[in-house]
Amino acid sequence: MQKLLPKSNLNEFLENLMTEYELIAPIKEKNTKFSIIKTSQDLKKLYLKKLTEVPVKQFFIPEKEPLLEFKSSKIKEIKIKIKKRIIFGLRKCDLNAIKVLDKVMYDKQYKDKRNKTILIGLFCENPDNSCFCNSMELESAEKLCDLFFYPDKNNYYISICSEKGKQLVKNLKTASKTIKLQEKNTKTLKNKDIERNYRNKIWESDSEKCLSCSACTVYCPTCNCFDISDELEINLKDGKRIRRQTSCQLKSFSRVAGGRVFRESRLSRFKHFIYHKLVYFKKQHDMYMCVGCGRCLRVCPTHIDWVKTINLLQDTKEIRK
């Protein structure tokens, strides 16, 4: 059973949700990103045409976040007030990216955010030339959200995926038919079994173009590397412990006490990014860390296309000794 919502009534539907929930949805300003919708005027910026440039992960793992504070030798956990919220407009890749984060983020702050968040998915009608999600064995979107919207001409057909989602659409009409759509990509990752090719010289062509700027990890919806530091007050006794996003593509990321850097070369850092997505995480969690959204390919300033590189692996036998 699906519910029916005319596309012309979408903003009204979302405004009704805003009376009880904080609404987060994709908008277009300087770029396309998820943002908190505060007024009906904000809804005029709603962007549903394509996948957003900026992923939704900032609402679960912010760029900077205090974890605890210490004062007079007493340590106190910082409790962040999190409103009940709805994130609308999540594509299949976005929903699978949240599933990846759920596998690795165990702290109370992250879990509180997840527990107070209702996820509403949206079928991706217009994947661009960088999308390859169909190559990544993603879980069905309907298993990962509370509602899922399928666009069809002048209407949205809404699949109900949880009891929470059911309550949100209880006043909508039941659709006379049920539709299911299948995402279509023009880009394909032909071979994900790359473990034996780690020393293949083909990686050098990409790493030589790499600037170690970390844009790929910043815009990746599943990258979750962070650093923790203590910020002291002027009395050098009180302060806060802060978690900040960082990147495995920065040389400083693998620096340890004494100054040793474990991934000194850009080549080693670049390959770590690829192999973590396709090999290491898969071994540990039985799912790929890459969701095929293509954001890393779009934002790379030197246009590195590691999907194309992997597709060439089956045609090359040159191995680094």
Q: Per residue of the chain (321 residues), give pLDDT as tens.
A: 899 999 999 999 999 999 999 999 999 998 999 999 999 999 999 999 999 999 999 999 999 999 999 887 788 888 888 889 999 999 999 999 999 999 999 889 999 999 999 999 999 999 999 999 999 999 999 999 999 999 999 999 999 999 999 999 999 999 999 998 988 888 999 999 999 999 999 999 999 999 999 999 999 999 999 999 999 988 888 899 999 999 999 989 888 888 888 899 999 999 999 999 999 999 999 999 999 999 999 999 999 999 999 999 865 554 443
The verdict on 31 and 153 lying in the same domain is yes
Give CA–CA dist 290/217, Å, rounded.
Answer: 11
* 243 part of a folded domain: yes
- Shared domain check, 212 and 76: no
Are 168 and 200 contained in the same domain? no
User: Is residue 127 domain-shared with residue 241, that is, in the same domain?
Assistant: no
Q: Strand, helix or coil at 254?
A: helix
Does residue 187 form part of some domain? Answer: no
Q: Looking at the structure, do residues 205 and 266 belong to the same domain, yes or no?
A: yes
Question: What pLDDT was estimated at residue 125?
Answer: 93
In-domain check, residue 188: no
In a shared domain, residues 162 and 220: no
Angle between helices 108-115 and 92-104 (to 10 degrees): 150
Listed in sequence order, the residues at least 6 apart from 268 whose beta carbon sits closer than 8 Å to its beta carbon are none
Residue 66 tokens read as: 């205090």
Predicted pLDDT at 115? 95
Whether this model's pTM surpasses 0.85: yes
Domain encompassing residue 98? 2-174
The edge-to-edge listing of strands for the beta sheet with 117-122 is 32-37, 22-28, 85-90, 117-122, 147-152, 155-160, 2-6, 173-174
Does 236 lie in the same domain as 130? no
- 157 belongs to a structural domain: yes
Residue 291 domain-assigned? yes
Residues 267 and 129 both lie in one domain:
no
Residues 103 and 216 in one domain: no
Whether 111 and 212 share a structural domain: no
How many CB atoms are closer than 10 A to CB 24? Answer: 21
Nearest-5° Cα angle at 194, 253 to 317: 115
318 falls within a domain: no
Residue 186: inside a domain: no
Asked whether 57 and 221 are in contact (CB, 8 A), the reply is: yes
Residue 254 domain-assigned (yes or no): yes
Q: Residue 261: what pLDDT? A: 86
Task: With beta carbons less than 8 A apart as the criterion, state whether 289 and 282 touch.
Answer: yes
The Cα 256–Cα 267 span in angstroms is 19
Give the total number of structural domains in the chain.
2
**What is residue 315's predicted lDDT score, i.e. its pLDDT?**
58
Residues 21 and 143 in one domain: yes
| Statement to judge: residues 117 and 224 lie in one domain | no
